[in-house]
Amino acid sequence: SGNANDFFNFVTADNAFSLENPGGVYISDFTEGRNQYDSDVSIIGAYAMTELPLTAKLKTILGARAEQTTLKFTSFSEVNPIADQALLDEWNYLPSAGLIYEAIPDKMNVRASYSRTIARPTFREIASIAIFDEIRNVIVLGNEDLMITEVDNADFRWEYFFERGEMISFSLFYKNFTNPIELTINPQTGGGTPEFQYRNVDQAILYGAEFEARKSLSFIGLPSFSIGTNLAYVNSEVDIPAAELAVIRRFDPNADAVRPLFGQSPYIANAYLNFLPESGKTKASLNFNVQGERLFLVSVGGTPDVYEQPFPSLNFRISQEVANNVNITLGVSNILDPEFKRTHQFNGQEYLFRNYRNGRTISLGLSYKVQNY
């Protein structure tokens, strides 16, 4: 019990002008001038693909895509106004090639492929604005010098299909990144709320293996149930810039010259249990996911990097058709409610950067599907 206004610190006529508050109320505007802006993004693309049979069981797929990206930014800041600045204006040429060998028709395939893809900076990453990141609890600055990331991808995949909806596959993959983007502390930050900024690093590589399987449980008398899993092992490396590495080794002479790719976990595991009877009126799923430790924040100098620790996620969802085209859905998210923890290490000792629990979420929905006739 209590007064909601006291709890939420609401300003009302009663508490702003009262004997208990003779000093009045002061409202200060801390709006960031650099956050008054306008922007325009334009992406133009052209794509061509051809499929060529080489033998009765072997075919090749060749393709190419060209994309032109333009991102313009206008700042209305009184201190540093900017008019129609082109933050991005470039062409990217993206070839692709693949081989597919159908070892057993409709049953087993072997695939090998190469492609080049890109990852554009988001507007909040590249624009000269400051945004308060509620997840990280810091101010994040854009960086107008960011470049588009180019990724060269190569992979080899074996897959085998059983009955309908059942399969097993194994893949090997390799990726080479040019100008990958990572989040680092802004070295010019003074006191107060810490500021972080996105930046490019020169190169990064990533390679690993992936296993996937889907299976019906009809073989044990449960035809309405199916299970599946996806497991991936990933190794990633980024060369630490020489000047930055020299500073790090003043504090830790044995520090590695490489670090993991920003945001990349060394392993990812997913599993699910689905329920779908023949009538199709009831659908249910139980999903589990966990990812390994991943780099969350790149520090500078002798300050250790911050890593996000693994936290398992278990979610349940069930949907029931109660009338024609009317469904009720119940969902429970984050059933395990694990501790969400970020840490950093120094001299072999682990220190806590931040920890909390998200809590469980229960949702209930009613939907109606409109049929097209």
pLDDT in tens, 82-124: 665 667 888 999 999 999 999 999 899 999 999 999 999 988 8
Sign of CA dihedral 77, 81, 84, 87: negative
pLDDT of residue 50: 96
pLDDT tens by residue, 165-210: 899 999 999 999 999 999 888 666 655 667 888 999 999 999 999 9
Give, as one character, the DSSP assignment of residue 262. T
Confidence bin at 372 (pLDDT 50/70/90): low
Q: Order of strands, edge to edge, in the sheet holding 195-200?
A: 130-133, 138-141, 195-200, 181-185
Residue 301 contacts residue 341 (beta carbons within 8 Å): no
pLDDT at residue 347 in the model: 77
pLDDT of residue 75: 67
Domains of the chain: 37-368 (2.40.170.20)
Provide φ and ψ at 218, rounded to 5°: -65, -25
Q: Which two tokens stand for residue 227?
A: 């299970």
pLDDT of residue 8: 40
Q: What's the average model confidence in pLDDT over 19-40?
A: 63
Confidence tier at 7 by pLDDT (50, 70, 90): very low
Per-residue pLDDT, 128? 77
Question: How many residues comprise the chain?
Answer: 373
Q: What is the pLDDT of residues 52-76, one digit of tens each?
A: 999 999 999 999 999 999 888 776 6
* Residue 286 CB neighbours (<10 A): 17
Q: Give, for 207, the enclosing helix (H) or strand (E).
A: strand 203-217
Overall average pLDDT of the 314-339 stretch: 94
Predicted local distance difference test score (pLDDT) of residue 4: 41
- Helix H or strand E encompassing 185: strand 181-185
Lowest-confidence region among 78-82, 220-224, 337-341? 78-82
What's the whole-model pTM score?
A: 0.80
pLDDT of 184 reads 87
- pLDDT at site 216: 93
Q: Which of 24-38, 224-238, 305-319 has the lowest mean pLDDT?
A: 24-38
**What is the Cα–Cα distance from 25 to 40, expressed in whole angstroms?**
40
The 3-state DSSP class for residue 192 equals coil
Q: Is the distance from CB of 69 to CB of 121 less than 8 angstroms? A: no
Q: Which residues contact 81 (CB under 8 A, 6 or more apart)?
A: 75
Q: pLDDT digits over 138-174, tens only?
A: 788 888 889 999 999 999 999 999 988 899 999 999 9
Tell me which of 283 and 300 has the higher pLDDT.
283
Task: Tell whether the model's pLDDT for residue 6 goes beyond 70.
Answer: no
Checking if the pLDDT of 323 tops 80, the result is yes
